[in-house]
Amino acid sequence: MLSLVAAVAALIAAAGVWWERPVPEPAPSLPVIAEHQPPPSASSTAAARELVISVVGRVNRPGLVRLADGARVADALDAAGGAAPGTDLLALNPARKLSDGEQVLVGVAAPPGAPVDGGVQAVPGVATGGAGPGSAVDLNAATVEQLDALPGIGPVTAQRILDWRAAHGRFTSVDQLREVSGIGESKFAKLKDLVRV
C-alpha cells in the first residue's frame, strides 16, 4: 500500500515538473525600418549634370555629344570620333572648358554673322572672330593678337585673359573681365564697349 502511494506521489510530482517546464515563446515581430538614403549632396548633383555639345566640321562623327559637366574641347573631339585626317588643330584650344549648348567647329569657319567661339578652327584666309572695323572682339574666341590690339591691353594682359578663359570656361558676361589680373576699373571702362561674349 505504501509502495502504491509512493508511486502515485512520484507520478504526480513528475506530472507537476513536466507541467511547470519552461515553454519557449515566439519572439515578437519587429517593425521593418526602411533604409535611410541621405539626400544627394550638391557636389553629386553637379557631377551628374550633363552637357550637350554640338561638334561639327572635320570630325569622324559630327553631331550632338553628351559629356559630363566640366568637360573640355578635347573630350568633345574624342566623343565625335576625333578629327578627320589632315585637319589642322593648331587654332583649336583642347583645354578650354565647355558649357551646355555650345557648338564646337573643327576645321571649318563659322557661317557669316554667327558668333565665333574658342572652339572654332581657323581656315586659311578666313577671319575667325577678329575685331574688324566697328565690330566687338569676342572674349570667348579672341586670340592673344586680337586682344593685344585692344587699347590698354598688352601681350601679358591678353595672355591673362586667355588663361582666365582656360581656367574658368567661357565668359558669360563682359563684367567678368574685372576678374582678370591687370584689368582695373579704368581699363575696364575703356574695354567694355569693345568686347562681347
Q: What are phi and psi of 14, to 5 degrees?
A: -65, -40
**Least reliable range by pLDDT among 12-16, 79-83, 122-126, 169-173:** 122-126
Cβ proximity of 71 and 52 under 8 Å: no
Cβ–Cβ contacts within 10 Å for residue 158, how many?
21
Banded pLDDT at 76 (limits 50, 70, 90): very high
Confidence (pLDDT) at 67: 92
Cα 117 from Cα 105, distance rounded (Å): 9
pLDDT given at position 29: 66
- What's the rounded mean pLDDT across residues 5-24? 72
* Alpha carbons 58 and 63: distance in angstroms, whole number: 11
Q: Assess contact for 98 and 70: CB atoms under 8 A.
A: no
- In this structure, are residues 56 and 107 in contact, taking their beta carbons and an 8 Å threshold? no
State what percent of residues in the chain have pLDDT above 70: 70
Mean pLDDT, range 119-132, rounded to an integer: 36
Assess whether pLDDT exceeds 80 at residue 45: no
> Which amino acid makes up residue 197?
V
How far is it, in rounded angstroms, from Cα 176 to Cα 106?
Answer: 27
Q: pTM value?
A: 0.39
Residue labelled with grid coordinates 585637319: 87
Q: How much is the pLDDT for 145? A: 84
Q: Evaluate whether 115 touches 172 at the Cβ level (below 8 Å).
A: no
pLDDT for the residue 149: 83
Residue 177 reports pLDDT greater than 80: yes
Question: At 129, is the pLDDT very low, low, confident or very high (cuts 50, 70, 90)?
Answer: very low
CA triplet 29, 33, 39: central angle to 5 degrees? 180
**Confidence at residue 26, expressed as pLDDT on a 0 to 100 scale:** 65
Dihedral sign for Cα 3, 8, 11, 16, please. Answer: negative
Residues 92, 119: Cα–Cα separation, whole Å = 5
Most confident of 10-14, 44-48, 173-177: 173-177
- Residue 112 confidence (pLDDT) above 80: no
Chain position carrying cell 555650345: 102
Whether residue 41 is predicted with pLDDT greater than 80 in this model: the reply is no
Higher local confidence (pLDDT), 133 or 194: 194
Average model confidence (pLDDT) across the chain: 75
